[in-house]
Amino acid sequence: MQLDRDTADLLATIGAASGVLGLLLAIAAQVRLSRMRKAYEVLQGSGRRDDFVTAVGRHVAEVGDLRGEVGRLREVLGDVRSDLADALRHVAVVRYDAFPDMGGRLSFSVALLDDSGDGLVLTSINGRSETRTYAKGVKAGKSEHSLSPEESQALSFATKSRS
């Protein structure tokens, strides 16, 4: 079967157009591939010391280390809070003149309490020839011994500082 000249020219033109179209598509694909390689090179690095993937990996590891450190610090903070609750942190002092003929407010009562209201009340009564000191235990903000008005006042002030 023999093709006439017009059909052959048409087929040749279609073939050439297909070839040119294929060549254009190949060039476009090559340009896109080149751009993708450049973008990938930015992420992956090209032998540089600090590429993006390495930096992200290092930061992920550092964040993991920091999370572990935060967990350890939480444990330590819990221990410190527990120890601090038992410390005598709530203190109040009341100074007064124990005897009418004495001046200078040399006598005092001091309340020393922890967070649960446990501790002691110390009282020092100063006279002309002697000084007497008393210590009374306190449990949950109350003393088993009777308290003087000044001792009660010191205990009240220390208890208020707990809140």
**Looking at the structure, do residues 82 and 94 belong to the same domain, yes or no?**
no
Q: Are 93 and 154 in contact (CB under 8 A)?
A: yes
| Domain total in the chain | 3
Question: How confident is the prediction for the chain on average, in pLDDT?
Answer: 88
**pLDDT score at 68:** 93
The model's pLDDT over 48-60, given as tens digits with 9 standing for 90+, comes to 566 777 788 889 9
Pairing of β 107-113 and β 142-143: unpaired
**pLDDT score at 48:** 58
**pLDDT score at 47:** 58
Q: Are 127 and 102 in contact (CB under 8 A)?
A: yes
Q: Which residues pair with 131 in a beta bridge?
A: 126
Residue 67, pLDDT above cutoff 60: yes
**Looking at the structure, do residues 79 and 100 belong to the same domain, yes or no?**
no
**Looking at the structure, do residues 66 and 23 belong to the same domain, yes or no?**
no
User: Is residue 78 in some structural domain?
Assistant: yes
Q: Which of 135, 123, 132, 133 is nearest to 93 (CA)?
A: 123
